[in-house]
């Protein structure tokens, strides 16, 4: 079964990578924290925290993975934030490759590694690391259930890109010998 035709594999790889960078990998609603509730929307490269009915200095806070990890230093959830940082770094490499592929397809296609497979591997690896981060958030984090929305997309896109048939269809019918 062919999911993607060979001529569309490159554009799919680029668009999938860019999309993965903008989909939240994790959404967690944590009730009953300091007399209120908190909604965490974690994108690969930043986190938005919305505090409801909490006596907090800021109701909405935005932080990047490194700052968020530093804020959690010494807490049980620190390992989850460290895994998020690693997953974001892997995805950042994928975004750089996708931008290069978009800007100069011919040059990137000449690399010793197939760029579609490379992006598929990077998306899959990032997704797997964020699966670990989600598990750690669920077991060591604040109360609430983390929903790994973007993780599903990362693994799906990565799997599709890793299994795409890169052989172009032949234009001439084969003759019998």
Return the C-alpha torsion angle 167, 170, 175, 177, nearest 10. Answer: -20
What pLDDT does residue 37 have? 85
Structure-block tokens of residue 142: 């604040």
User: Does position 174 have pLDDT exceeding 60, yes or no?
Assistant: no
Other CB atoms within 10 A of residue 122 CB = 25
Phi, psi of 63 (to 5 degrees): -145, 155
Model confidence over 102-113: pLDDT tens digits?
Answer: 999 999 999 999
CA distance 106 to 123: 22
Model confidence over 37-69: pLDDT tens digits?
Answer: 889 999 999 999 898 876 655 688 899 999 999
Least confident range of 91-95, 123-127, 161-165:
161-165
Model confidence over 113-140: pLDDT tens digits?
Answer: 999 999 999 999 999 999 999 999 999 8
Q: So where are the chain's domains?
A: 6-23+66-142+149-163
The answer to whether the beta carbons of residues 44 and 88 sit under 8 Å apart is: yes
- 67 CB-near residues (< 8 Å, 6+ apart): none
What pLDDT does residue 1 have? 46
């Amino acid at each position: 079964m062919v999911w993607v035709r060979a001529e569309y594999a490159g554009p799919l790889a680029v668009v999938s990578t860019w999309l993965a960078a903008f989909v939240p990998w994790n959404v967690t609603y944590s009730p009953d924290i300091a007399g209120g509730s908190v909604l965490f929307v974690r994108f690969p490269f930043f986190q938005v925290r919305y505090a409801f009915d909490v006596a907090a200095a800021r109701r909405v806070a935005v932080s990047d993975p490194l700052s968020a990890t530093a804020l959690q230093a010494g807490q049980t959830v620190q390992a989850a934030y460290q895994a998020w940082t690693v997953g974001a770094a892997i995805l950042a490499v994928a975004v750089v490759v996708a931008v290069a592929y978009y800007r100069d397809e011919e040059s990137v296609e000449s690399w010793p590694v197939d760029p579609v497979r490379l992006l598929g591997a990077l998306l899959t690896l990032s997704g797997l690391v964020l699966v670990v981060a989600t598990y750690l958030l669920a077991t060591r984090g604040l109360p609430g259930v983390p929903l790994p929305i973007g993780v599903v997309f990362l693994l799906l896109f990565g799997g599709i890109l890793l299994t795409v048939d890169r052989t172009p269809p032949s234009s001439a019918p084969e003759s019998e010998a």
